[in-house]
Amino acid sequence: MKTDYKDNKKEFVYQMFNKIAADYDLVNQVISLGSNKRIKEQVVKNVILEPCSNILDVCSGTGDLAMNLVKYSDKNYKIIGIDFCENMIKLAEEKAKEFDNLKFIQGDALNMPFEDKTFDACFIGYGLRNLEDLRKGILEMKRVTKKGGYVISLDMGKPKGFINTLFRLYFDNFVPLFGKILHGNSVPYRYFPDSSKTFPSQEELVEIFKELGFSEVKNYNYVFGAIAQQIAKV
């Protein structure tokens, strides 16, 4: 990696996801010990939306969350995924080609090409942690979501006590080692544990959503709180 995430996070994140795109789904399944798929299914099921809702998947990556919205619903949603990495978009488009109610576009989560109040719900899966400005990212999703709609984030959480010690041991050591085995380079995979350390806990995120003017903010924990989902009403 040419850029370090401490100097220029946006450029680092862009280069890194473009580089690891082809392995991203596999890496995710392995480092989550197989729980990634099940959690993303539950994340979608936790949000009740009207038929034909317009839904945005921000930082859509290879498109798993958006695909779940199509697969686990018979409600004919209209779904757009937005991500700034072209290699992630290509993989998402490949998965989605048989669905005409799902499309992906390239764009910046901090400055999205949508009118105010366009969507009934905005999902962001493991995206907030990667933005250079978390609050700006949340406010941008709030801007494009209709009044009464939802912003939903899934990301790393902070478990309590001994579970946190176990989780950190696993995440800080195994993930970079796995990256090294896969790519001969652990740098991108050091970023994952590092970024989760500086990311707010689920309790702090709930407070941030409230500070930014959301109501009825709910939190759901997965894997003893190592992963957490917030649902916040606009």
Binding of ligand SAM by 13 (CB under 6 A): yes
Q: Least separation, in Å, of the C-beta of 161 and ligand SAM?
A: 27
By CB under 6 A, the count of residues binding ligand SAM is: 19
Binding of ligand SAM by 131 (CB under 6 A): yes
Which of 12, 17, 191, 222 forms a contact with ligand SAM (CB under 6 A)? 17
CA torsion, ordered 223, 46, 155, 94, to nearest 10 deg: 110
Q: Quick one: 59 or 144, whose CB is closer to ligand SAM?
A: 59
217 neighbors 231 (Cβ within 8 angstroms) = yes
Contacts of 188 (CB under 8 A, 6+ apart): 1, 16, 19, 20, 179
Q: Least separation, in Å, of the C-beta of 59 and ligand SAM?
A: 3
The side-by-side arrangement of strands in the sheet containing 54-58 is 102-106, 78-83, 54-58, 119-125, 145-156, 227-233, 215-222
Helical ranges in the chain per DSSP H: 9-20, 24-31, 36-45, 64-71, 86-96, 134-144, 161-183, 187-198, 202-211
Q: Least separation, in Å, of the C-beta of 91 and ligand SAM?
A: 9
Binding mask 94-123 for ligand SAM (x = CB under 6 A): --------------xxx-------------
φ, ψ of residue 224 in degrees (nearest 5): 55, 25
Q: Least separation, in Å, of the C-beta of 111 and ligand SAM?
A: 8
Bridge pairing between strands 54-58 and 102-106: unpaired
Which of 126, 171, 199, 222 forms a contact with ligand SAM (CB under 6 A)? 126
Q: Least separation, in Å, of the C-beta of 64 and ligand SAM?
A: 5
Q: Quick one: 54 or 229, whose CB is closer to ligand SAM?
A: 229
Q: Quick one: 44 or 148, whose CB is closer to ligand SAM?
A: 44
Which residues of the shown chain bind ligand SAM in the complex (CB under 6 A)? 13, 17, 59-61, 64-65, 83-85, 88, 108-110, 125-127, 130-131
